Amino acid sequence: MARGQPLALGRDAAGARDTASPDASGGVSPWPELSRRVQPTRSDRLAAAVQIEVTNEPLAEVAAQSLAFAVPDPMDQLSGPAGEIDGVLGGQLAKLSAAGDLRAEPNAVCVVHTNGRLAADRVVVCGLGKLERLDSDSLRDAAAAAARAVAKIGGTLAFVLDPSLPLPLDEQARAVVDGVVLGSYDPGRWKTSGSRPKPIERLLVVGGDAAAAERAGRIAEWANRARDLANRPPNDLTPEALAARAEEIGGEVEHMKVETVDRKGIEKLGMGAFAAVAQGSDVEPRLIVMRYDPPSAHENVTLGLVGKAITFDTGGISLKPGLGMEEMKGDMCGGGAVIEGMGALAELGVPLKTLAVVTATENMPSGHAFRPGDILTAANGKTIEIVNTDAEGRLVLADGLWYAREQGATHVVDFATLTGAMTVALGDIYAGVYANDTDWGERVVAAGEATGDHAWLLPLHRRYRRYVDSTFADLKNSSTMRQAGSALAAEFLKEFAGDGPWAHVDIAGTAFLPRSRGDYLTQPGGTGYGVRLIVELASRLAG
């Protein structure tokens, strides 16, 4: 495909065909601008915030369009909030339960109109599943099911916590907020026809701790913003647009400085690996650097967050098969989580110096693309033989990791949709974590596990290093063996992670779902994975 020809056409393009103007290479393109950008994403297409409040009013007096609560299996003659509301409703819930309309299994939802017997218009009873298997995710799923059930109603959703459940109340509050805020996310923002869900405007957590609920709400909103980035199409979310989003955050929060570096600057920094990936694309790459420097932070600890942001991964000259390639717009999810995670840290005022380094570029095949056989020099001086241009993530991260250390990061974590092998190993539930320091790796895993961003520590071993030995250079970027693909990638990254604790979180399976997981995330597309983990990790490191 010649330069300047349309890479993607949207419905707006046809109307613009009669306008011709010079393109970037000086020739005349019949589709100016539109060759790469259909239209900017209007902010009204992006996630709207849910207002979070807490109340301790008696259940019958809670004014809301919908009053929801969860019932565990076994139901024990409707104890907890179910029993209380059943009393007000004159035994109606018990009857529905006996008839099989009201069930405690996961995802079961029963909506009952109150006809004025409660201040709420309707009650929404959600199944929690088996009590002995109850965890925060069960409650997230139940809350999301409630949110989904009232998706056409909107307004205020009240959700009643249950002190008799074996989950601390602030944990329940956090899970309910996650479930409602993440569960009512709508990825269909580019549809122009059909009925869209009516957003829930307000979530009233009944019986919860206000601080825990509000904090969870803010974090979940930042996760939804990361989902917005993941879902934005690659003709809109270019590296420049991602950089603009980071700059926008920098302008909204305190103690944040944002700096972006263009192609020339990337080359000047000696980032030969990052520059090579970017060289095949006509859109400008960006090195995005965010510095969060709050007043009361430790002087000698800087958390470094490094994110892979390939805004579209075609594989390059080692072209990917066409089927499903559209999912590769999600190959920027590591960078998206890091950028929005930084926003969350600053909004919450987490007292920890944090540095974000996001390497944003497309990976495209073209007459100026890098190729298998090329040997590159990374910023740390190591030489890399390219075996497969589709193993581009480790190349951009190599230079990103170096830069984070160079800029003073003491504790580093990178987030990357790095390997298909990760999906084979752990599927769409757990991200795999590799670390050069077991204690640090375990802390990353624990932070994820505490928040619903599931993570599992996987092993590195010095004998994996031979998988990336090259005949010609210091190392190669891929192997012909199909063994331990994600360990091999981690072993490669380790060469660039410098001294001090480093952990690599491979989110290839968890960041962008080709199909719904059937849980509280409800929808395919971006999951926001990493935002909750980042906030928890930074808060623990600060505390």
- Binding residues (CB under 6 A) for ligand BES: these are 313, 331, 388, 390-393, 417-421, 423, 478, 485, 508
Residue 203 CB, nearest approach to ligand BES (Å)? 32
| Structure-token pair, residue 312 | 């579209």
Among positions 330-349, residues that touch Zn ion (CB under 5 A) are 331
Paired sense of beta strands 302-313 and 353-363, if any: parallel
Does the protein bind Mn ion through residue 362 (CB under 5 A)?
Answer: no
Paired sense of beta strands 383-385 and 475-476, if any: parallel
By beta-carbon proximity to ligand BES, the closer residue of 112 and 521 is: 521
Does the protein bind Zn ion through residue 421 (CB under 5 A)?
Answer: no
By beta-carbon proximity to ligand BES, the closer residue of 354 and 486 is: 486
Closest residue to ligand BES, judged by C-beta, is 420
The region of 56-64, 189-197, 232-240, 311-319 touching Zn ion under the rule CB under 5 A is 311-319
Quick check: helix, strand or coil at residue 269?
coil
Q: Which does 86 bind (CB under 5 to 8 A by kind): Mn ion, ligand BES, Zn ion, none?
A: none
Does the protein bind Zn ion through residue 396 (CB under 5 A)?
Answer: no
- The H or E element containing residue 393 is helix 393-406
By beta-carbon proximity to Zn ion, the closer residue of 217 and 315 is: 315
By beta-carbon proximity to ligand BES, the closer residue of 52 and 421 is: 421
| Structure-token pair, residue 172 | 């329940």
By beta-carbon proximity to Zn ion, the closer residue of 393 and 501 is: 393
- Identity at 508, one-letter amino acid code: A
- Contacting residue, 23, 240, 313, 414, with Zn ion by CB under 5 A: 313
Strand-pair partners of 384: 376, 475
Query: Site mask, Zn ion, residues 314-333, x = CB under 5 A?
Result: -----------------x--
Sheet containing strand 411-416, edge to edge, reads 256-261, 286-292, 353-363, 302-313, 411-416, 502-506, 431-435, 455-457
Does the protein bind Mn ion through residue 162 (CB under 5 A)?
Answer: no
What do you get for the CA distance between the two ends of the chain, in Å?
A: 54
**CB burial of residue 450 (10 Å; 0-12, 13-18, 19+):** middle
Among positions 208-247, residues that touch Mn ion (CB under 5 A) are none
Give yes or no for a contact between 272 and 363, defined as CB atoms under 8 angstroms apart.
no
| Structure-token pair, residue 242 | 């991602």
Query: Site mask, Mn ion, residues 285-324, x = CB under 5 A?
Result: ----------------------------x-----------
Angle at 435 between CA 429 and CA 441, to 5 degrees: 65
What is the CB neighbour count within 10 angstroms for residue 248?
12
How far apart are the C-alpha atoms of 472 and 456, rounded to whole Å?
Answer: 35
Give yes or no for a contact between 225 and 217, defined as CB atoms under 8 angstroms apart.
no
Residue 488 CB, nearest approach to ligand BES (Å)? 7
3-state DSSP of 506-536 = ECCCCCEECCCCCCCCCCCEECCCCHHHHHH
Name the catalytic one among 140, 394, 443, 494: 394
> Please, what sign has the CA dihedral across residues 329, 335, 341, 347?
negative
Does the protein bind Mn ion through residue 390 (CB under 5 A)?
Answer: yes
Active site residue 353: no
By beta-carbon proximity to ligand BES, the closer residue of 81 and 393 is: 393
Residue 470 CB, nearest approach to Mn ion (Å)? 19
Active site residue 152: no
- Contacting residue, 393, 509, 526, 530, with Zn ion by CB under 5 A: 393
Residue 15 CB, nearest approach to ligand BES (Å)? 34
| Structure-token pair, residue 175 | 């899970």
By beta-carbon proximity to ligand BES, the closer residue of 352 and 484 is: 484
Among positions 112-131, residues that touch Mn ion (CB under 5 A) are none
Residue 252 CB, nearest approach to ligand BES (Å)? 30
Give yes or no for a contact between 281 and 342, defined as CB atoms under 8 angstroms apart.
no
Provide the annotated active-site residues.
320, 394
Binding site for Mn ion (CB under 5 A): 313, 390, 392
Judged by the rule CB under 5 A, the positions of this chain that interact with Zn ion are 310, 313, 331, 393
